[in-house]
């Protein structure tokens, strides 16, 4: 469905991404895993059309994506640092998104529990509710591909269960997810495909069974596999 071929990005003399290639098949949940500075956020910016690569191509259904408009037709993006106008009330922001997307998802508002804070200004939201509002921004549309940069930050264990269930339910509807996650334990709960980055390169990729066969034993966790992969 979405194919990256030799994506390269350089900032002055620093190589941010070095010939990164992988495919996200339709209906998959792909986890982009790697230490800080590995290039995860840069990669998601490029996948989402917010940055241009210095080299390489991105394809959707075997057709190269050439313009930001083409990306916007198929893809919704939640960056890690999304600034939402702080003096909007939550219900005002929801109305704005509904009008902009011409799409109203009452069920999503209920699942994210945003009714509880609808009269609050965004500047006064807790980190968890701010993250819920960002997820509403990313999911309240009919786009086929959802790209989320560190979507689980700010949630306690109970809240995290709710958010994981939300992503699973959206995935069951046919949406494809690409997630950047630094909590490997959480990644193992939700992803069915992994791309491991280190020092701007893809170290390895595949489902958990493939990674276990390559780097560990059947009882290895994703964290243990990752440590072996980057040695």
pLDDT at 216 over 80: no
Q: Are 4 and 58 in contact (CB under 8 A)?
A: yes
- Which CA distances in Å does 30 have to 90, 97, 122, 185, 190? 30, 26, 30, 14, 9
Write the pLDDT tens digit of every residue in 113-124: 999 999 999 999
- The reply to whether 148 falls in a domain is yes
- The reply to whether 88 falls in a domain is no
pLDDT at 92: 94
pLDDT at 219: 82
Structural domain boundaries enclosing 149: 2-81+143-153+161-229
- The reply to whether 131 falls in a domain is no
Over range 150-167, report the average pLDDT. 89
- The reply to whether 101 falls in a domain is no
pLDDT at 220: 84
pLDDT at 212 over 90: no
Give the rounded distance of the alpha carbon of 163 from its chain centre.
Answer: 13
pLDDT at 162 over 80: yes
- The reply to whether 44 falls in a domain is yes
Q: Are 45 and 17 in contact (CB under 8 A)?
A: no
Write the pLDDT tens digit of every residue in 14-42: 899 999 999 999 999 999 998 888 889 99
> Tokens 């995935």 map to which residue?
171
Domains: count for the chain: 1
- Which CA distances in Å does 211 have to 30, 137, 175, 178? 14, 33, 24, 18
- The reply to whether 113 falls in a domain is no
Residue 25's contacts (CB-CB under 8 Å, 6 or more residues apart) are 1, 176, 193
Alpha helices in 21-105 (DSSP H): 40-47, 68-74, 90-101
- The reply to whether 132 falls in a domain is no
What's the CATH code of the domain at 63?
A: 3.40.50.300
- The reply to whether 200 falls in a domain is yes
Write the pLDDT tens digit of every residue in 38-80: 889 999 999 999 999 999 999 999 999 988 889 989 999 998 8
| Beta-ladder partners of 193 | 30
């Amino acid at each position: 469905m979405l194919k990256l071929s030799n994506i390269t990005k350089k900032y002055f003399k620093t190589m941010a991404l070095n010939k990164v290639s992988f495919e996200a098949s339709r209906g998959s949940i792909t986890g982009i895993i790697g230490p800080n500075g590995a290039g995860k956020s840069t990669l998601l910016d490029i996948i989402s059309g917010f940055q241009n690569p210095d080299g390489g191509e991105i394809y959707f259904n075997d057709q190269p994506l050439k313009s930001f408009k083409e990306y916007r037709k198929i893809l919704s993006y939640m960056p890690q640092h999304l600034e939402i106008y702080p003096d909007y009330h939550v219900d005002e922001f929801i109305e704005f998104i509904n009008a902009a997307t011409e799409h109203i998802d009452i069920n999503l508002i209920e699942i994210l529990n945003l009714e509880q804070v609808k009269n609050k200004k965004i500047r006064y939201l807790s980190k968890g509710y701010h993250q819920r509002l960002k997820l509403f921004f990313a999911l309240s549309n009919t786009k086929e591909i959802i790209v989320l940069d560190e979507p689980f930050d700010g949630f306690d264990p109970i809240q995290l269960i709710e958010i994981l269930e939300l992503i699973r339910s959206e995935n069951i509807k046919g949406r494809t997810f690409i997630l950047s996650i630094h909590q490997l334990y959480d990644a193992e709960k939700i992803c069915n495909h992994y791309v491991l980055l280190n020092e701007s390169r893809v170290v390895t990729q595949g489902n958990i069974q493939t990674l276990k066969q390559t780097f560990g034993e059947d009882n290895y966790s994703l964290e243990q596999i990752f440590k072996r992969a980057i040695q």
